[in-house]
Chain A
Amino acid sequence: MLPDAAIDAVWRITNHPGTLVEGWYDDIVASITPHQYVELVGIVAGMNAVDRFADALDLDHLRLPPPRPGAPSQEGPDAVVTTHWVPTVERGGSNVLAALSAVPTAWASSRPIASAHYVPEDKVVGDLSWNRGILSRPQIELAAAVTSFANDCFY
């Protein structure tokens, strides 16, 4: 069973991401560890992408695979709180790219989603004219900006 704080975080991140404040985060990590929270964010954010894509196309949600036995590895880099609320590892690039860096598997899970649905990571700023031959890059960026605005995204 998930702790109440984790359930609250899942609900709040899913439904009201634009209302999250540091005091709320502090309350959550009083009950779960910052690394557990980062892993949770990665899972919730990724599932929001997959499920909302299905909903928008009126498709069935993907079924989750069965859980595997075993304890979490607890392995990860040394991460400290510097720029974000959560601990991060210096990796260069934009701040959002470092947001999940304390839990490398959470970060790695988000990359295929971003590359397939948006733009491959090396093309985001490395090739501002890149597109996959469907929408133009300005059309892609407009869809991105409208989504961020409508979600009340501070970043």
Chain B
Amino acid sequence: MADGAGVRYGREIGDLVRAAVAGDQQAVASQRSRVETMLGRAAMVDTLAVFANFSMMTRIADATGTPLDPGSVDISAGLRAGLGLDSLTSTRFQEPGPAVSGR
């Protein structure tokens, strides 16, 4: 079992999703094969189905100015303040940060 946020086969699932978001067809094919080998064909398709749904939901949320839910505002206040997220528009507008040790 490979780790990924403590979820069984999380690394493989995450790598397939990241390749799909990037739209790198060669990488997607490689990661599809990896997930299919380790988790099965149905799990590979299900992973990409979730990716597809959240390709929709993220666009609905970001295109309509959907705010955080009331239950998320208070508990994330410290995190948002510490990371400067309230004034962050997009990571695409940021200067690359320093390399993280160990990665």
- B37 near A: Cβ within 8 Å? no
Name the distance in Å between A138's Cβ and chain B's nearest Cβ.
Answer: 5
Number of B residues with CB within 8 Å of any CB on chain A: 52
A56-99 vs B, Cβ < 8 Å mask (1 yes, 0 no): 11100000000000000000000000011110000000111011
CB <8 Å contact, B13 and A148: no
With contact pairs A19-B93, A58-B29 given, residues A13 and B54 touching in the complex (Cβ less than 8 Å): no
Decide if the interface of chain B is mainly helix, strand, loop or mixed: helix
The number of residue pairs between A and B whose CB atoms lie closer than 8 Å in the complex comes to 197
Please give, as numbers and ranges, the residues of chain B lying within 8 Å of A136 by CB-CB distance: 7-8
A29-71 vs B, Cβ < 8 Å mask (1 yes, 0 no): 0000000001001101110111011011110000000000000
User: Which residue of chain B has its CB nearest to the CB of A101?
Assistant: B64
- A2 near B: Cβ within 8 Å? no
Provide a sorted-by-A list of 10 A–B residue pairs whose CB atoms are within 8 angstroms: A13-B59, A16-B92, A57-B48, A84-B64, A86-B65, A99-B60, A114-B53, A117-B52, A117-B53, A152-B92
Q: Which residues of A contact B (CB under 8 A)?
A: 9, 13-14, 16-22, 25, 38, 41-42, 44-46, 48-50, 52-53, 55-58, 83-86, 94-96, 98-100, 110, 113-114, 116-118, 132, 134-136, 138-140, 142-148, 150-155
